[in-house]
Every structure is written in structure tokens, then in C-alpha cells.
Amino acid sequence: MCTKTLNVILFILTVLCGNVCTDKMNVLFLVSDDLRPQIGAYDSNSYPPHVSTKMYTPNIDSLASRSLLLERAYVQQALCGPSRASFLTGRRPDTTHIYKCGEYFRKKGGNFTTIPQYFKMNGYKSIGMGKIFHFKGKNSGGNDPISWSAPYFHGARNYEQISTSWAAIPDEELDSKPLLDDQTANHAIETMRNFSLDNSTDKQPFFLAVGFRRPHLPFVFPASVLEYYPEVSLPHNPSPPIDMPTLSWTEFKRFTSYSDVKYTGTRDNARLTHSTVLSLRRAYYSSVTWVDHHVGRILQELEILGLSNNTIISFIGDHGFQLGEHGSWGKQTNFELSAHAPMMIHIPGKTNVGTRSSSLVEFVDLFPTLVEAAGLNPLPPCPENSNVVELCREGVSLLPLINETDKRLRGSAFSQTPRDDFMGYSIKTTNFRYTEWPRFDKLQFKPQWSDSSSVELYDHRIDPEENVNCANDPAYRKVIDRLRKRLRAGWRKSFIGSVYDA
């Protein structure tokens, strides 16, 4: 075959397959801050039926319809900094040693390899923008520069540093001074266009991490978005659970800094008027719809550029968020609405028709899943005391759930929340949430189970709102004994096959 004919054939194949013919798939890594799974895609029995009308998220729902949708995905700690340090390294808080915001896992826990860093090590161009790591604080490590191939994009705060809890900005003002998430989405689109224009023969695959700051407080969005929510409802359960331990609840101190919220941190919503609660919930929903708008813009551009057939897409929230349920606002609890967050993964050719799994999964599973989906060398499991091990995983790949959606990977999903000298360790099982509050050894990073302050048990079969703590009910004694053993045995014994997963 002559050279000219061969070149013509190669050109035609390149046009037909676009980037599909490259050796490695790209990765688009999308993160939304403080997002609870109250979106249309989660309209199933796996999401508590007590929450109000689903939020308007057509673009995220569309992505979910062609993804592996994890209906029961749980974060390791419901707070931005610890959660991100955990899922970005595939390690749990007791390994990263990050329990609050503004601290750096490389200084506290170890020199752990992160998701974007691993893809960079494997030949990817790793680009980050918006909020991926929690970079606030002088000891936070910034955006972890070693993880990226190019300077990080932050954007400018035009309206986000307001004195009120929320603001609907007139749309016409945003043309000249766009909001942060608008800037982030614009930069993501520009970056993808630059990737598409790269015609070099040794073209690098990309790992593109896009972090949206909403719906984190303050809830700031274009005024036009409010039209999607002419009415919202009050929370069904504005009071703390019956027999709730004191340690379970936390004061949401951020509210005390806003001029429009008269908040004193008491245990019920009596200090917030119904109109204030409704306004806050409506503003949160509007912020979520604003994020959804930008997800749609990015996914549409991916399609236009011919990149969608060769790009893995993951979308997650970094944890859930309470909007007055149990008289609580924000996160930093072990309740379902804090620990449960959205997670979906689209893999071209494997999840195109969409599949839903109700298997219990954890956010530490994301790292090994993306690695396997991209065909990279799999991560080894972490040994005990892995703080000197740079690359390993404390979760498992979720790819088996694509073909076997009901497959049980583990018997429990683990979360935790610190309170002064105590650490609340919580497990979610198919039917229950069980939590203990032992004293925590801050030098050894271990619970002292012999000095346990409080216990919680919520029966999700009859109480999905977690309104009644059954820990003192004699009828649940056998259940508590079984779950106590499972919790104290730890996450390593939770995988299927262990005597503790039954």
C-alpha cells in the first residue's frame, strides 16, 4: 500500500474516532461543595422519602442517566477539609490525621499520592481549578502544587464575601462581574478547547478537576434562578432526635457571622423564624441549580469538542448538608443528611445506558475506581500504619457494580466526627445507623473504646429521618451488640467475607 493511501486512511480513522483512538481516556473530575443528594437522580427508595421536593438539576440528572449512580455513598467525615483530604488520597481521617479545615495532610499524615498527582505521574496533563483541595489556612498546603501540571486557577471573589447568608444578584450585573463558579466553568471550557486544539502526535490525555464552591454558604446566585423555586417547604423534623446524646449535635457558628440570621446556636429552630428557614432553604436550592447550570455548560462543550466519547466523568459532593433538620444547620454531624452525598461515574462504553447501585460505598472508593476505569496500574491496599506508604488505598474499586448492581462490597460504610476530646464513629448498614462516642487518643489517633461516652442507634426501616435514638430500647439489645462488634472491629473487617459483615 502506498504511503499516500495509508496517510489518507489514517486521516479518515482519526476523523471518525476523534480522541477515542488515543491510548488513554481523559478524566473530568467534578466536585460540588456541601451538596446533599436531594436531586432528581436520587428519587428512589435509597434516599430518605421525608425530604422536600427534589431540586431542579436537569444536567446532573442527565449525567446520572448515563453513569454508574451510587445511591448510598458515604463520606468519611462531613467537613470540607477532612473529606477532601480523604477522598483525594483514598485514605481515611485516622490516616490523613486531618479532622478540621486549614491543615495539610502531607504535614499531618504523610506524603500521600493524590488522585490528580497519580494521573500526572501516569502521563496525564493534570489541571485544577475552583475548589478541589481545601486550601484555606496558612497550614493547608494551598492547592497541593505537586498534584498539578500547570498553575492553579482560583478566580476572583466578586460577590461571595457578603455580610448576609445569601444574595440573589441581578443577572445584568454578572456580565461584568461574574460569580466564582461562572469563572471556574468558563476556565474549564477554555481549557478543554485548548486540549482539543492540540494536534501534536504525542498528545497527552488530561485530568481536569473542576471544583464548584456552591452551594456552600453564603448562597450566592443569579436572581433569575429563584423562579425555579416559587415555594419550598419547612423541614419535616425541626427538633433534635429523642434521646439524642449531647455530643451528636453541633452549633453552626458560621450563622452567627451573618447579619440577616438571628442565630444563637440552640438545639431547635425556635430561634429562627419560619420565614428565615424558608429563605435559607430556597437560597440553597437555587445555589444547587446554579451549579447544575455550569455542569451542563461543561458537558455540552465536551460533546461539541468531540471529547465525550473518550472522557471518564465523575461528579460528587464533598459531603451532605442539613437545612434545619434536627434543628441543625450545615454539616459536622454523623446524621444521614451530613454523611450521605452524591456520587456518579460515567465511563464511555460501559455506563452509557446508566445503572443504579444501592450497594454501600464510601468516598475512599473513588480513587481506585477512577484508576481502574482509566486502565492504569491498580493501587495496592494499604497495610496497617500506612503513614510512610506514599501510594495505596483504603477503599475498593466500584467497577464490579456496573455489571452486578446488587453486589455487596462491604457490610458497613464508616464515617466519623470529632467533638473536643471525643470522636463519634458511625456505621451505616442496610437497615441501621449505629454511632459511638469514645474518647479519642490524639497522639495515637485511635479511639479508646473502654471510655465511650454515648451511643446512638437509628432504625432506618421505620425511622429514615433518624428522629428517635433506640440505643436505650431493650428490644434492640441484640442489634446493638452485633453493631458494636462491627464498629469496633473497624473498616478493614467490613469487607464481604469478614465475620463482621454479617
Nearest to 289 by CA among 354, 219, 339: 219
Does the annotation count 187 as an active-site position? no
Note whether 104 and 147 are within 8 A (CB): no
pLDDT of residue 335: 97
Note whether 21 and 306 are within 8 A (CB): no
- Tell whether 474 is covered by a domain: no
pLDDT of residue 48: 61
Name the grid cell of 29: 473530575
Q: How confident is the model at residue 142 (pLDDT cuts 50, 70, 90)?
A: confident
End-to-end CA distance of the chain: 64
Taking residues 35-55, report their average pLDDT: 78
pLDDT of residue 499: 56
pLDDT of residue 428: 98
The active-site residue, picked from 80, 382, 392, 470, is 80
- Tell whether 335 is covered by a domain: yes
pLDDT digits (tens, 9 = 90+) for 246-291: 999 988 888 888 999 987 666 665 578 899 999 999 999 999 999 9
- Tell whether 183 is covered by a domain: yes
- Tell whether 6 is covered by a domain: no
pLDDT digits (tens, 9 = 90+) for 80-119: 999 999 999 999 999 999 999 999 999 999 999 999 999 9
Note whether 92 and 99 are within 8 A (CB): no
- Tell whether 50 is covered by a domain: yes
Instruction: Judge residue 412's burial from the number of C-beta atoms within 10 Å of its C-beta, 0-12 exposed, 13-18 middle, 19 or more buried.
Output: buried
CA 390 – CA 121 distance, rounded (Å): 13
pLDDT above 90: percentage of residues in the chain: 83
- Tell whether 1 is covered by a domain: no
CA 236 – CA 243 distance, rounded (Å): 18
pLDDT digits (tens, 9 = 90+) for 16-28: 443 334 479 999 9
Query: Is residue 51's pLDDT more than 70?
Result: no
- Tell whether 284 is covered by a domain: yes
pLDDT digits (tens, 9 = 90+) for 418-469: 999 999 999 999 999 999 999 999 999 999 999 999 999 999 999 999 999 9
Q: How confident is the model at residue 13 (pLDDT cuts 50, 70, 90)?
A: very low
Q: How confident is the model at residue 137 (pLDDT cuts 50, 70, 90)?
A: confident
CA 74 – CA 416 distance, rounded (Å): 11
pLDDT digits (tens, 9 = 90+) for 296-339: 999 999 999 999 999 999 999 999 999 999 989 999 999 999 99
Per DSSP, 394 falls in state S
Nearest to 88 by CA among 26, 27, 134: 134
Does the annotation count 80 as an active-site position? yes
Domain count, the chain: 1
- Tell whether 477 is covered by a domain: no
Q: How confident is the model at residue 135 (pLDDT cuts 50, 70, 90)?
A: confident
Alpha helices in 70-224 (DSSP H): 80-89, 93-96, 105-108, 115-121, 180-197
pLDDT digits (tens, 9 = 90+) for 333-384: 999 999 999 999 999 999 999 999 999 999 999 999 999 999 999 999 999 9
Taking residues 156-164, report their average pLDDT: 92
Asked whether the bond before 215 is cis by omega within 30 degrees of 0, the reply is yes
Query: Is residue 4's pLDDT more than 50?
Result: no
Domain range for residue 171? 22-411
The active-site residue, picked from 17, 101, 134, 293, is 134
Note whether 457 and 432 are within 8 A (CB): yes
Q: How confident is the model at residue 140 (pLDDT cuts 50, 70, 90)?
A: confident
pLDDT digits (tens, 9 = 90+) for 437-448: 999 999 999 999
Please tell me the pTM assigned to this model.
0.93
Task: Identify the CATH number of the domain in which residue 279 sits.
Answer: 3.40.720.10
